A = this chain, B = another copy of it.
Amino acid sequence: MNSTTYKERLKKCSSLLEKEGLDALLLAKPANMFYLTGDGRLCSFAIITQDGKVALGVPKTDIEDVRELAVFDHIAGFDDEVGMIHSIAHYFKDFDINKGAVGLEYTFLTQSMMGMLTHPHAKPKEVSVKDCTHIMSELRLVKDKEEIKLIKGAAAAADFGMKAAVESIKSGMTESNVAAEAEYAMREAGAEEFWRTYVCSGPRTNIAHGLPTNRKIQTGDLVMIDIHPIVNGYSADMCRTVCAGKPDEEQQKAYDIYLKAQQETIKKVRSGADIGDLEETLHAVIRDAGHGEHIFGPPIHGVGIEFEEAPLPPGHAFFHGEKEASPLQANVVLAVGNCGLYTGKFGVRVEDTVVVGKEGLEVLTSFRRKLEI
Interface residues of A (CB under 8 A from B): 41-43, 58-62, 64-65, 79-82, 104, 106-112, 114-116, 131, 133, 174-177, 179-180, 183-184, 187-188, 190-193, 196, 203-204, 206-209, 211-214, 296-297, 315-316, 318-321, 342, 344, 347
Contact = CB atoms under 8 A, between A and B. Distances in A.
Contacts of A213: 192
Given A59-B296, A207-B62, A296-B60, A187 B176 contact: yes
A241 to B, nearest CB: 14
25 contacts: A41-B207, A42-B209, A42-B211, A43-B208, A43-B209, A59-B207, A59-B296, A64-B203, A65-B203, A79-B296, A81-B315, A106-B110, A107-B112, A111-B114, A111-B131, A112-B321, A116-B319, A177-B187, A180-B183, A180-B188, A183-B184, A187-B212, A190-B214, A192-B214, A193-B196
Contact of A208 (B62, B111, B131, B211): B62
Nearest to A85: B319
Q: Which of A175, A179, A192, A206 has the most chain B CB within a 10 Å cutoff?
A: A192
Task: Give the copy number.
Answer: 2
Contacts of A61: 206-208, 296, 342, 347
A28 to B, nearest CB: 11
A316 B108 CA distance: 20
Contacts of A207: 41, 59, 61-62, 65
Given A41-B209, A188-B180, A316-B81, A109 B111 contact: yes
A319 B112 contact: yes
Contacts of A297: 59, 80
Contacts of A188: 177, 180
Contacts of A347: 61
Which of A58, A64, A319, A347: most chain B Cβ within 10 A? A319
A45 to B, nearest CB: 14
Contacts of A114: 111
Given A41-B209, A61-B296, A62-B207, 20 more contacts: A43-B208, A59-B296, A61-B206, A61-B207, A65-B207, A80-B316, A81-B316, A82-B315, A106-B110, A106-B115, A107-B110, A111-B114, A112-B319, A176-B191, A176-B192, A177-B188, A179-B187, A183-B184, A187-B212, A193-B211
Contacts of A318: 81
Nearest to A197: B193
Contacts of A64: 203, 206, 344
A104 B183 CA distance: 35
A180 B82 CA distance: 36
B193 A212 contact: yes
A207 B65 CA distance: 7
B111 A106 contact: yes
A131 B114 CA distance: 13
